[in-house]
Amino acid sequence: MKGLLFFRFLLLAAALIGILLLNLCLGEVNFSLGEVLRLILDFIQKQNSTESTMAILMDIRLPRALAACLVGASLGISGYQLQALSNNGLADPYLTGVSSGAGLAVTIAIVLGVDFAFIPALSLAGGLAASTVVLLLSKSNEKISVSRLLLCGVALSAFCGAIITMLICSGQGSVRTQGIYYWLAGSVSGKSWTEISSAGVYIAAGVVLALLTSKPLRLLSLGSSTAQSLGLEVLKAQIAVLFSAILLCSASVSLSGIVGFAGLVAPYFARQFFGRDERSHIISSAGIGACLVLLSDLAARCLSGGQEPPLGTLLSLIGGPFFLYLLYKRSEGVYRL
């Protein structure tokens, strides 16, 4: 059984590397795999290459591909944590209000012209503020009511969305407003190494915290009462897991804007093919999420005849029907977490 699981992880790693290389090879200007590997080797060895080809690969495509990997991995892990915590396979990182809070903070920052170096921190602050409100409203008898958590999250998302719309309308026609529109649709286009490093620090911290809280998450998935009877401090464990999910989702929002459904699809396939261990699920959710966002971004670049469609739109085309499929299976009593 362990050998089969190891083989599946090898296949996932190979798929991730293969899709990443495809993203580097394909675009308006196509490179062969040999050219890509040679350019990367020249870059590592600091050797001179044709300036234009090196710039396309190292300053445009590689940062974009890495941003897609980070966003997909973050949303995959965050989605898995929330689904395991709520014992609901239909839960998504955006249902706790974290993305709306982070989105509102980033929207305000864009309107005020704040430098991107501060965007990840402001996104995290907005996500934490929104989630704190949701947690306070959903706390009951020193525990967090998951049903109340989701309901409060949906209500807060609607409220933050209304404020974002008002901010957009107040600056109708301005360059910054157009930037907000584009950002809300979700995209990893034009990302720089500075943006990736800024958001990457928060994502790395969130991944480490997710792995450290994997054992408490396993107990929480059994139910609050069972976890408490096994000696777990339920409230502290819930807050630690939620903080990790918030950290990951906020960082991804600051990097790509609103990208939905990756946090719904990736955990489903992680549970289907990667055993029952929480750490295996966390790692595989990250890998599957990264593959999903990379493929969607590649499709956005290569399949469009003119204007590149937003990344969030393509993922919604995949995630919307998939959500309905899971809902149907759930109503038929086939799908359970």
pLDDT at 17: 95
Residue 122 burial (CB count, 10 A)? 19
Written as six digits, the tokens of 216 are: 């408490």
Question: Would residue 337 count as lying in a domain?
Answer: no
How many C-alpha atoms does 289 have within 13 Å on its Cβ side? 35
Domain tally, the chain: 1
The residues that bridge with 144 in the sheet, in sequence order, are 139
Using an 8 Å Cβ cutoff, are 202 and 258 in contact? no
Question: Would residue 22 count as lying in a domain?
Answer: yes
Task: Write the CA distances from 26 to 21, 40, 186, 273, integer angstroms.
Answer: 9, 15, 21, 30
What is the distance, to the nearest Å, from the Cα of residue 311 to the centroid of all Cα atoms in its chain? 12
* Residue 180 burial (10 A CB sphere; 0-12, 13-18, 19+): buried
3-state secondary structure (DSSP) of residue 140:
strand
| Local confidence band at 185 (pLDDT 50, 70, 90 cut-offs) | confident
Question: Would residue 336 count as lying in a domain?
Answer: no
What is the C-alpha separation between 22 and 182, in angstroms, rounded?
25
pLDDT at 330: 67
pLDDT at 173: 57
pLDDT surpassing 70 at residue 304: no
pLDDT at 303: 74
| Local confidence band at 144 (pLDDT 50, 70, 90 cut-offs) | low
What is the C-alpha separation between 104 and 160, in angstroms, rounded?
6
* DSSP H or E run through 24: helix 2-25
Q: Is the pLDDT higher at 20 or at 224?
A: 20
One-letter amino acid for residue 47 of the chain: Q
Written as six digits, the tokens of 25 are: 């090879």
Report field, pTM of the whole predicted structure over 0.75? yes
Which range marks the domain in which residue 322 is found?
Answer: 2-331
Using an 8 Å Cβ cutoff, are 280 and 10 in contact? no
Determine the average pLDDT of the residues in 187-191: 85
Question: Would residue 179 count as lying in a domain?
Answer: yes
What percentage of the chain reaches a pLDDT higher than 90? 26
| Local confidence band at 331 (pLDDT 50, 70, 90 cut-offs) | low
Where residue 249 sits, what CATH number does that domain have? 1.10.3470.10
Secondary structure of 82-128 in HEC code, one letter for each residue: HHHHHCCCCCCHHHHCHHHHHHHHHHHHHHHCCCHHHHHHHHHHHHH
Residue 120 burial (CB count, 10 A)? 25
3-state secondary structure (DSSP) of residue 337:
coil
pLDDT at 1: 64
- Mean pLDDT (the chain) is 84
Q: Is the pLDDT higher at 48 or at 228?
A: 228
pLDDT surpassing 70 at residue 333: no
3-state secondary structure (DSSP) of residue 163:
helix
Question: Would residue 63 count as lying in a domain?
Answer: yes
| Local confidence band at 141 (pLDDT 50, 70, 90 cut-offs) | low
Nearest to 294 by CA among 73, 90, 113: 73
pLDDT at 192: 86
What percentage of the chain reaches a pLDDT higher than 70? 89
pLDDT surpassing 90 at residue 80: yes
Determine the average pLDDT of the residues in 179-188: 77
pLDDT surpassing 90 at residue 337: no
